[in-house]
Amino acid sequence: MLKWIDLPPVWLLGFIGVAWAQPRLLDAGLSFGGAWADFAGGVLLGGGVLLMLLALYEMRRHRTTIVPHRDADHMVTTGIFSRTRNPIYLGDALVLAGVILALDAPLALPLVPVFVWIIERRFVIPEENRLRRKFRADFARYCQKARRWL
């Protein structure tokens, strides 16, 4: 059961829950201020979902796992992975930022870098270490071409 709780979507939902609670429990009279925040939130949310879908497509096309903590069968470097090594996690961060804007929860903005830090330590670094051990020189070359986040 614990292995299914320790997954990035569960972390994302937890952070979204905290963001949802922020304006309800601690208003502080702060606001992003109207329609622009809804629009920007929608753009970030949509962009995040698009990144995730593009990454899932590439991973399925290369027949490799999307589940963290499992060894990849193939190293994916095409499509969105040619731009960023972690498009799904980047998409998660964009979704969180978009939800925070849409919920008008300005005090929740610090959750975004905290989320990225946790995801990087809990998932990204261990995944990259597994890829480094398995694909050695190919992974090193890939790291020179594609950045970890942006």
What pLDDT, in 10s, does the model give residues 71-94?
999 999 999 999 999 999 999 999
For 136: left if phi > 0, alpha if psi spans -120 to 50, otherwise beta; the answer is left
Rounded percentage of the chain residues whose pLDDT exceeds 90: 87
* Opening angle at CA 97, ends 91 and 100, nearest 5: 140
Do 89 and 126 meet the contact criterion of CB atoms below 8 Å apart? no
What is the Cα–Cα distance from 134 to 67, expressed in whole angstroms? 17
Q: What is the mean pLDDT of the chain?
A: 95
Structure confidence at residue 96 as a pLDDT band (50, 70, 90): very high
- Domain boundary assignment for the chain: 31-145
Average pLDDT, stretch 109-133? 97
Residue pair 49/95 in contact (Cβ under 8 Å)? The answer is yes
For residue 109, the tally of other CB atoms under 10 A from its CB is: 15
- What pLDDT does 3 receive? 67
The mean pLDDT of 101-127, rounded to a whole number, is: 97
